[in-house]
């Protein structure tokens, strides 16, 4: 089973690229972020025509997450628990039946947090990460495969960016941000890409400005974080870097994990 995450940066603007990638690669579950669309405006028919179920948690013009799946979801949670006043659409979670039991997948669009000295934006990012950790810890008690897939807006380590000095004061790379990300790891979650490769220059995002793509000045901020039960089934990961060179690309590319859920361990 192939499970992917992709910050699409506007699903209507990238619908041709999305349809092409779905047709060419045929992932089983795709977690989209930054769809920038209300639920009723999502191009559902175009995706359903390719054999996918569509679940969205949209927001007009900003944010928004979705899960596309060949399997029909049995339960869907929209919104990250822990703050009833949070109106930003950044989290959707779905449950699927698989031969080995149950699979739970979440699409996450973690706040950017910049500028890091902003009295609202960066505290909101850290508070959101705290809520995510608390929710993830509760989900771990279910002892089922769980994939927390998304744009985390976190550069975990210096080798996950082209030039650490350029990011030292950025909300994506501040010590508090990286510590909050490590909290997930300390709970027992595995960074799928780093579980399968220690290569440098593995990036998932290249800015539109200053020739970042052409110079390979990228960062790795899109992650598949796996519960122990999901990590045990991980076979391989890949980063679809070629998608960044397509016409009208997103500044992010898909990250894909391949899993063996065919039977019980």
Catalytic residues: 109, 151
Reported in sequence order, the residue ranges of the chain that DSSP labels E, i.e. its strands, are 2-7, 29-33, 53-57, 65-69, 75-78, 91-98, 101-109, 146-151, 190-191, 205-206, 218-219, 222-226, 234-239, 255-259
Which residues, 6 or more positions from 237, have their beta carbon under 8 angstroms from its beta carbon?
192, 193, 195, 196, 197, 224, 255, 256, 257, 258
What DSSP character marks residue 15? H
Q: Report how far Cα 134 is from the mean position of its chain's Cα atoms.
A: 18
C-alpha span between 182 and 198 (Å, rounded): 17
Pairing type for strands 222-226 and 190-191 reads antiparallel
């Amino acid at each position: 089973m192939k499970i992917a995450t992709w910050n699409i940066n506007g699903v209507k603007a990238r619908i041709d690229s999305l349809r092409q990638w779905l047709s060419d690669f045929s992932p089983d579950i795709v977690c989209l972020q930054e769809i920038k669309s209300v639920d009723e405006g999502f191009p559902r028919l175009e995706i359903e025509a390719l054999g996918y179920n569509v679940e969205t948690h949209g927001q007009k013009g900003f944010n928004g997450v979705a899960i596309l799946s060949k399997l029909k979801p049995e339960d869907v949670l929209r919104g990250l628990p822990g703050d009833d006043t949070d109106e930003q659409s950044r989290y959707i979670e779905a449950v699927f039946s698989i031969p080995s039991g149950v699979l739970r997948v979440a699409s996450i669009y973690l706040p950017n947090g910049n500028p890091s000295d902003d009295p609202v934006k960066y505290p909101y990012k850290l508070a959101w990460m705290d809520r995510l950790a608390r929710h993830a810890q509760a989900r771990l008690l279910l002892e089922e495969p769980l994939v927390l897939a998304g744009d985390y807006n976190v550069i975990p380590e210096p080798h996950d960016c082209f030039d650490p000095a350029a990011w030292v004061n950025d909300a994506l790379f501040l010590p508090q941000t990286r510590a909050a990300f490590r909290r997930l790891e300390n709970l027992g979650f595995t960074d799928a890409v780093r579980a399968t490769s220690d290569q440098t220059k593995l990036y998932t995002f290249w800015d539109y400005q200053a020739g970042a793509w052409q110079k390979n000045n990228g960062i790795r901020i899109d992650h598949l974080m796996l519960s122990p039960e999901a990590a045990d089934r991980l076979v391989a990961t890949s980063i679809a870097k070629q998608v960044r060179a397509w016409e009208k690309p997103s500044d992010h590319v898909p990250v894909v994990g391949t899993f063996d859920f065919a039977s019980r361990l």
